[in-house]
A = this chain, B = another copy of it.
């Protein structure tokens, strides 16, 4: 855990602020300050994409407008998160130094445009970033309004230029030392792909090599490391000049399923930021899922990003209404903005920040939701809902810095996702590793049981239950870690398509690894991949559950059979088994089942492990209760993620922070209503 925290005792409320777009509109700049107070906001992120305003021509800097804005915000009692501008370049730089532009995987040099399109290796780009970052640090690093540094914006993408090829080769030399080792890891002789000189190595390409899985995997690892390296380059002057100011960069999710961002391994990146922050844009009110199902996914991803550092995180961006980049950009219904904002806090965020404070007048994001609309008015619905969130955050300010405690961990591994998505032999459209984990998570979310989503870097011993489904790629170290966890008394759940390859994506020799056979009490023999319309079923505790996509055929050794297959040539064979190993227990789920099977199996496991909620708050499905706790108090966020009224049964009395009343017995929650209840420990 970092020693740097957000030096403000308020829950942060505010967001991305781009006065650089409005320098010709002094009346707008003036209105901003007035409206900021009315919206009960306190924190603004400045400087994102402001490079052309800060350095309009090479070497000539204009900080006056930024000085003025920061001072004005400070005077108002607000705080500033200051961004480095490297997320987009001025046009003059691309023109004069084309090397700063990215080269695509097809080896095409890109033109100036868009954003996030710089080569992370370019010496000139690094030099230009170092200069502007140092200027910013020198000028604002000790400004009393400065709360945090925000590095670049939503790092992503890769570059295939000669600089990057050279860096990739160096990275590989560091990793493998010899070509012999590299060729072994990449299974070189396959299709004559043996490398005989380091210079023969090229990054994966659709016009060249795309089928060497070891190369693909190493390239993704390299891209993460290279991006972190660029980030580390960015923060040098900031750390030097403002050593006490925490540094973050905003992480993302992939849509439209709202799964963790896949292109960068955030479990590595998280080590280098002081505070995890991220940008969350669920497609509320969509037409393909129920609100409660989406809410569980939002819970999952927040719990993952919280667990990366096991400390409160920040929502760096969210929208008060709709966005502009979904397929359909529907506005949040009344109440949803408060509910969804409180959900962030409930899962451990210490902020509700927005992209964006004010809608642009022009270009592609002018209809992205914002606190202030083009009408510049505080009377409209969205502004009112934002102000209500501001009010609520003030009332619950005491939750700032409090923690979540979980006895259950679900393992999420970015590299496993990369390797599994690359694997040929199953079915591309049904792999869905992150989505599958979200389904396991949902069985706990429904019961208000706190869950950490952990990576393989983290310790497992403190958890009563560890869930690691579809862990296709398991290094020997991982296998040992899991064995040791179970041996010492832990309960482990795994599933189909687990334990097939090592960390270089080479199949384990001699079939399914011996330690896995030991801990699960059986041996995996075959994985049957089903066509989309194929169905099987399993029977468990006398009840039948539908199966699709995947069925593992295994040979039981000493495990207890919990469920058996009902169809196909493995009819009657075990589908789910339970085993005892050392002081611990394991469960292996052989097939992809409907959600209700997971719910029912985990009900059994929860009883076995004696997991229960601490909440004393009873409700129907669709209501979620999430808990934060300080040394003295529990804080229960009771959230109605349904379009119906919900009756909540309180088995004891609580203090309601929002209404500031003590309540007990029955409470009725309107659609999308939220309560924040406090209880002494």
Contacts and interface: CB of A to CB of B under 8 A. Distances in A.
A192 B532 contact: no
A362 B506 contact: yes
Contacts of A526: 321, 331, 380-382
Interface string A268-306: 000000000000000001111000000000000000000
B92 A190 contact: no
A662 to B, nearest CB: 31
A525 to B, nearest CB: 6
A365 B20 CA distance: 53
Contact of A24 (B50, B104, B111, B184): B184
A418 to B, nearest CB: 14
Contacts of A368: 424-425
Interface stretch (A201-209, A227-235, A650-658): A201-209
Contact of A202 (B20, B112, B328, B334): B112
A363 B509 contact: no
Interface in A354-392: 359-368, 373-377, 380-382
A575 to B, nearest CB: 16
Chain A contact residues (Cβ within 8 angstroms of B): what range?
35 or more
Interface stretch (A210-218, A402-410, A437-445): A210-218
Given A114-B211, A374-B511, A511-B375, A91 B193 contact: yes
A614 interface: no
A214 B360 CA distance: 13
B200 A112 contact: yes
A525 B362 CA distance: 19
Nearest to A180: B24
Interface string A390-403: 00000000000000
Interface string A589-617: 00000000000000000000000000000
Nearest to A532: B287
A455 interface: no
A423 interface: yes
A368 to B, nearest CB: 7
Contacts of A533: 287
Given A92-B196, A363-B212, A529 B114 contact: no
A469 interface: no
A199 B531 contact: no
Interface string A178-195: 000000111111111111
A619 to B, nearest CB: 24
B511 A95 contact: no
A208 B89 CA distance: 12
Contact of A327 (B108, B202, B321, B427): B427
B91 A200 contact: yes
B200 A92 contact: yes
Q: Which of A89, A359, A366 has the most CB of B within 10 A?
A: A366
Contact of A381 (B214, B367, B382, B525): B525
Contacts of A330: 528-531, 534
B362 A90 contact: no
Contacts of A194: 52-53, 56, 90-91
Nearest to A285: B531
Contacts of A188: 52
A362 B511 contact: no
Contacts of A427: 327-329
Given A90-B196, A324-B425, A427-B329, A362 B207 contact: no
A140 interface: no
A333 interface: yes
Contact of A214 (B321, B322, B363, B429): B363
B186 A363 contact: yes
Contact of A192 (B90, B359, B361, B531): B90
Contact of A428 (B24, B327, B367, B569): B327
A247 to B, nearest CB: 21
A640 interface: no
A329 B364 contact: no
Interface string A504-524: 111111111000000000000
A209 B362 contact: no
A85 interface: yes
Interface string A309-345: 0000000000001101101111101100000000000
A196 B506 contact: no
A631 to B, nearest CB: 41
A21 interface: yes
A191 B375 contact: no
Interface in A65-120: 85, 87-92, 94-95, 104, 106-108, 110-115
Nearest to A360: B190
A189 B50 contact: yes
Nearest to A116: B191
Given A115-B192, A185-B362, A190-B365, 4 more contacts: A113-B205, A187-B366, A191-B363, A381-B525
Interface of A: 18, 20-21, 23-24, 49-53, 56-57, 85, 87-92, 94-95, 104, 106-108, 110-115, 184-197, 199-200, 202, 205, 207-214, 285-288, 321-322, 324-325, 327-331, 333-334, 359-368, 373-377, 380-382, 423-430, 501, 504-512, 525-526, 528-534, 568-569
Which are the 3 A-B pairs with shortest beta-carbon distances?
A: A367-B425, A187-B362, A111-B208
10 contacts: A20-B189, A92-B197, A113-B209, A115-B192, A187-B363, A190-B363, A362-B505, A367-B423, A368-B425, A374-B510
